[in-house]
Chain A
């Protein structure tokens, strides 16, 4: 089976029903997307497929036929994605476990809506849970990445 991940074609040997997250982490060694709940109820595994946010823990790998982008694919330590830079500037993360998923949702939101309101942010992030409660800083970082005034 062939996947396109972060601009590269990779070949994996997987059952069609294997969750995309399993294929990424266990077969392709791409460890950015995290396992949280396994039932699309927390958002830690969020990746983009053809630009749309997807919970990779519930997408069968056989349905992941589009271009897959994980957090490894949006920037590098030398050239951070604006969302990653905003996350550092706002010191969003605490334990950090959910943050790869949070950042991928932010990337998807800002791609479609470069100037999101508070309501737009609430509507986008309702499925990305953070047990450290970093939501005010997530909101500030999304606004900072959008180029607007930041501040929680």
Chain B
């Protein structure tokens, strides 16, 4: 019986084994991308529930956005209290004033990054059903060119920016895609 199981494992199709054989360079590129996507400046508004998150040097642990701010029907908040009631097109220059960028809103719930593992985010970004139909090239261009994404590297006073830059993250996405867009294995215990 053991012999049969061993034979069956040997017969597994190549893609399953390919994950273990993923190029180290590709995984290194993904790690750079993951460090951006999982950074609070990005992940705090990529949540799967109704609430954006707050975090920063003066905020203590990451917390739910106060004022009963919610996703609303379209990700732009609720009638009477939309995201753009407070978040203007530019950052408030006063400490603890609201950050701002054009089109301020929550990412769709299926694009969740907040508290998700590297493997989970990697699987999401490669699934057009969970990227608004974008393939990896379109994701890369979106990261490079979108004004709200760009805010992550220019978040206003008192907030740590996401690592690197939009251009560097675009380049990492291009290299990762060219290397086969490998995803890390899910870590045990996650």
Chain A residues close to B by CB (< 8 Å): 17, 38-41, 46, 52-55, 58-60, 63, 105-106, 108-109, 112-113, 120, 122-127
Contact = CB atoms under 8 A, between A and B. Distances in A.
Given A105-B80, A125-B81, A127-B67, 5 more contacts: A52-B85, A55-B85, A59-B88, A109-B79, A126-B69
Contact of B93 (A17, A53, A59, A113): A17
A137 B97 CA distance: 29
Contacts of B79: 108-109, 112-113, 120, 123-124
Interface residues of B, number: 24
Given A63-B88, A126-B69, A58 B81 contact: no
A106 B96 CA distance: 26
Contacts of A38: 94, 97
Contacts, number: 79
Nearest to A39: B97
Most A Cβ at <10 Å: residue of B80, B84, B89: B80
13 contacts: A40-B85, A40-B86, A40-B92, A46-B85, A58-B88, A58-B98, A60-B88, A63-B88, A105-B81, A123-B79, A125-B81, A126-B68, A126-B81
B105 interface: no
A125 B77 CA distance: 12
B68 A123 contact: yes
Contacts of A63: 88-90
B80 A125 contact: yes
A123 B71 CA distance: 10
B53 to A, nearest CB: 16
Nearest to A19: B92
B84 A52 contact: yes
Nearest to A127: B67
B70 interface: yes
Contacts of B66: 126
Given A63-B88, A63-B89, A123 B94 contact: no
A58 B97 contact: yes
Nearest to A119: B78
Contacts of A105: 80-81
Contacts of A122: 68
B165 interface: no
Nearest to A46: B85
B80 to A, nearest CB: 3
Contacts of B81: 53, 105, 123-127
Nearest to B72: A123
B117 interface: no
Contacts of B70: 123
Interface in B47-83: 66-70, 72, 78-82
Interface in B84-110: 84-86, 88-90, 92-94, 96-98, 100
A100 to B, nearest CB: 15
B103 to A, nearest CB: 13
Contacts of A40: 85-86, 92, 97-98
A113 B86 CA distance: 20
A39 B78 contact: no
